Amino acid sequence: MLLWLKRYLYLSHRWLGIVLCLFMAMWFVSGVVMMYIGYPKLTPQEKLSGLPDMAAERCHISLAQALAATGQAKSPDSVRLTSVAGAPRYIFAYGKKQIAVDAETGNRIDRVTPAQALASAGSFLPTVNGHYLDSINEDAWTHSKALDEYRPLHRVQMDDEQGTLLYISNTTGEVVRDANHNERIWNWLGAWIHWLYPFRGGALDHYAADIIIYTALAGSILSLLGIAVGLMRWRFKGYYKHGAKTPYRNGWMRWHHLLGLGFGVIAFTWILSGLFSMNPWKIFDSTAAKPNLQAYMGGEISPHYFSLSVPEALARFQEAGFHAREIEWRILNSQGYYIGFDGLGRSRILTAQADGRVFEKFAWPELQNAAERLMGQSKVARQSVLSEYDFYYYSRAAHTMTGHIDKRLPILRLEFADPASTWLHLDPYTGNFSKLDAGRRLSRWLFAFLHSWDWLPLLNNRPIWDILLIAFSAGGLLISASGIVIGWQRVQRKLSTH
């Protein structure tokens, strides 16, 4: 029985390896590329730097008039005022739907023409020319779900030194993504392979997520089997007849055995954590009710909270020495505020009443009051103010998967005694909050930590992080490459006997 089990263990590892080692080799190579060049994105700061200062003299349409132009009966989830081709434009979010209204004329924007898309791109990069390419729903650089509410997308190729390709929303007219030539070239070897994007689009698009999940699951099983086989074949006591601990005298089998023992655990944790990145079978989903945004705000976005007009608000920001390029409407504790953002991504808050004042941060009690309403009957079990990053709240480089998310300091952390063990992180600069329940904290360990090694002692001491990840990636690549050679040799032998 034991011999039978060992035989099938060896056979399972062998034939899984023949099928999967090529995928694993691609994952290790592309993972190193992604350490330095991420999938194209337009970060909030990049977007703000491409906008002009808000033209107050052109903001003729009030919030009430713009809301009426949307044709929606319900209150929007969010409202912001930005610039498109130099002209002010309201952007209303209703769930996953975006509605744009011209703040100068009051016209609802139902579609964006190629000429308008070209004008939007020209305003974003005003020192260079661009030429219109086409309109697409999705291509190699726009697979992100975050772009779904902006599709279809116009593509404009700019004639700058970086060869920037801009994507303009047909819904709002905004530039929503940029991808320069360097990013596009390297991403064919990086994220495009790492996330198996060749399976996106076409006949296999519906199955793309399942392909990643089950390929990673099979790769995890392969790695675990390899560790088991490697340990079983290693002589912990004594030596084989040829004087070595491994049964393989030379060649690829010997290297595969030694490399597997040296790097097999790392390979296993990386592939397994890659599986967890997909939230397979929704294992990290929260069972708690979704946050009630209106409960947090203390009301719905309505003109009666904003007696201070937009031109007046922009003038107040200007008087305070702050040049707003975009503003958001915010309600907190049933009081209206304007949140202004400048070209460097900095923010200021303005009370939206006649005696409005500009200030930098909300007070901690204001944020806690709003958070307690959001959580209903759940009580705060612990509260703390974070003035430095920790394991659950930290910042990454802009090119990384979560690097576009602004993680400011200080922030207020509230830990609630609800069934989901919810934590809320509250940003005093904007009044925004993020939710981190037990499932997401588990994902932090099983995906982010194991996959990216984003542990602060390493991230704060580069190039130690770089050296370790490149060295271990090289080890994983060599395991996979030797497996490919061994598999090819075995298949050739099988074919030659028939």
Identify the sign of the CA torsion 195, 201, 203, 209: positive
Grouping H, G, I as helix, E, B as strand and the rest as coil, residue 165 is strand
User: Domain span at residue 242?
Assistant: 2-36+201-282+465-491
Q: Which of 79, 71, 60 is nearest to 301 (CA)?
A: 79
Count structural domains, the chain. 3
Same structural domain, 218 and 342: no
The verdict on residue 451 lying in a domain is no
Same structural domain, 17 and 106: no
Q: Where a domain ends, among 310, 340, 360?
A: 360
Same structural domain, 25 and 54: no
- What is the side-by-side strand order in the sheet with 130-136? 130-136, 153-158, 165-169, 175-179
Beta-carbon contacts of residue 119 (< 8 Å; ≥ 6 apart): 85
Same structural domain, 140 and 81: yes
The verdict on residue 420 lying in a domain is yes
The verdict on residue 238 lying in a domain is yes
The verdict on residue 250 lying in a domain is yes
The verdict on residue 228 lying in a domain is yes
Same structural domain, 62 and 168: yes
Q: Where a domain ends, among 326, 341, 360?
A: 360
Grouping H, G, I as helix, E, B as strand and the rest as coil, residue 375 is coil
Q: Where a domain ends, among 337, 360, 383?
A: 360
Same structural domain, 176 and 77: yes
- Tokens at 116, concatenated: 């308008």
Q: What pLDDT tens digit does each residue of the chain (498 aa) get?
A: 666 777 778 888 888 888 899 999 999 999 999 999 999 999 999 999 999 999 999 999 999 999 999 999 999 999 999 999 999 999 999 989 999 999 999 999 999 999 999 999 999 999 999 999 999 999 999 999 999 999 999 999 999 999 999 999 999 999 999 999 999 999 999 999 999 999 987 788 899 999 999 999 999 999 999 999 999 999 999 999 989 999 998 889 999 999 999 999 999 999 999 999 999 999 998 877 777 888 899 999 999 999 999 999 999 999 999 999 999 999 999 999 999 999 999 999 999 998 889 999 999 999 999 999 999 888 999 999 999 999 999 999 999 988 888 899 999 999 999 999 999 999 999 999 999 999 999 999 999 999 999 999 999 999 999 999 999 999 999 999 999 999 888 888 877 876
* Angstrom distance (rounded) from CA 77 to CA 15: 52
Same structural domain, 94 and 243: no
Question: Exposed, middle or buried by CB within 10 Å (0-12, 13-18, 19+), for 444?
Answer: middle
The verdict on residue 442 lying in a domain is no
Other Cβ atoms closer than 10 A to 251:
12
- Exposure pattern of 87-113 as b/e (b: 16+ CB <10 Å)? bbbbbbeeeeebbbbbbeeeebbeebe
The verdict on residue 394 lying in a domain is yes
- Exposure pattern of 11-28 as b/e (b: 16+ CB <10 Å)? eebbebbbebbebbbbbb
Grouping H, G, I as helix, E, B as strand and the rest as coil, residue 11 is helix
Same structural domain, 114 and 164: yes
| Radius of gyration for the alpha carbons in the chain, expressed in angstroms and rounded | 27
Name 217's bridge partners.
none
* Angstrom distance (rounded) from CA 181 to CA 478: 30
235 residue type, one letter: R
- Tokens at 90, concatenated: 């309201």
